[in-house]
Amino acid sequence: MQTIINTNNAHETETTCLIASVYADQKLDDTAANIDAAMGGSLQKMITTGDIRTSLGKTTLIHQPHGLKAERLLIVGLGKADEMDAAKFNQACHAAGKVICEQALGSASSCLHHNGISTQSIEWNVRQSVIAIGHANYVYTATKKPKPEDPKVIGTLEVLVTAQSNEIKRAVAHAQAIVTGYTRARELGNLPPNICTPVYLAKQGQEIADKYANCSYEALNTEQMQALGMNALLGVARGSRNPPRLIILRYMGADKDQPPVVLVGKGITFDTGGISLKPGANMDQMKYDMCGAAGVIGTFEACAEMQLAINLVVLVAAAENMPDGDAYRPGDVIESMDGQTIEVLNTDAEGRMVLCDALTYAKRFEPAALIDIATLTGACVIALGHHASGLMSKSDELADELLDAGQEIIDRAWRMPIWDEYQSQLDTPFADMQNIGGMPAGSLTAGCFLSRFTKDQNWAHLDIAGSAWKWGTQEGATGRPVALLSQFLINRCK
Rg of the chain taking only CA atoms, in angstroms: 24
Query: Does the bond joining 481 to the residue before it have cis omega, within 30 degrees of 0?
Result: yes
273/322 Cα distance (integer angstroms): 7
Decide: residue 314, CB within 10 A, 0-12 exposed, 13-18 middle, 19+ buried.
buried
- The β-bridge relationship of strands 245-252 and 215-220 is antiparallel
CA–CA distance, 393 with 454 (Å, rounded to integer): 10
* Residue 40, CA distances (Å) to 32, 51, 66, 71, 468 in order: 12, 16, 8, 17, 46
Which amino acid appears at position 20 of this protein? Answer: A
The three-point CA angle 66-70-72 to 5° equals 80
- Neighbouring-strand partners of residue 219: 247
Q: How far apart are the first and last CA of the chain?
A: 27
One of 352, 412, 452, 480 is an active-site residue; which one? 352
Q: Contact at 8 Å (CB) between 425 and 437?
A: yes
Contact of 310 with 492, CB cutoff 8 Å: yes
Q: How far apart are CA 399 and CA 384, in angstroms?
A: 17
Could you tell me which of 294, 467, 268 has the C-alpha nearest to residue 348?
268
φ, ψ for residue 483, nearest 5 deg: -65, -45
How far, in Å, CA of 449 to CA of 468, rounded?
22
User: What is the C-alpha separation between 345 and 328, in angstroms, rounded?
Assistant: 11
> How many helices (DSSP H) and strands (DSSP E) are in the chain?
14, 17
Contact 370, 458 (CB under 8 A): yes
Backbone phi and psi for residue 91, each to the nearest 5 degrees, phi listed first: -60, -40
DSSP 8-state class, residue 28? P
Report in angstroms the alpha-carbon separations of 460 from 142, 378, 380, 402: 34, 19, 16, 9
What Å distances lie between residue 348 and 236, 268, 316, 472, CA to CA?
9, 11, 19, 19
Distance CA 141, CA 121 (A): 36
Cα separation, 76 vs 457, in Å, equals 46
Q: Is there a catalytic annotation at residue 72? A: no
**Catalytic residue flag (residue 352):** yes
Q: Which of 58, 69, 203, 278 is catalytic?
A: 278
Q: Which residues are catalytic?
A: 278, 352
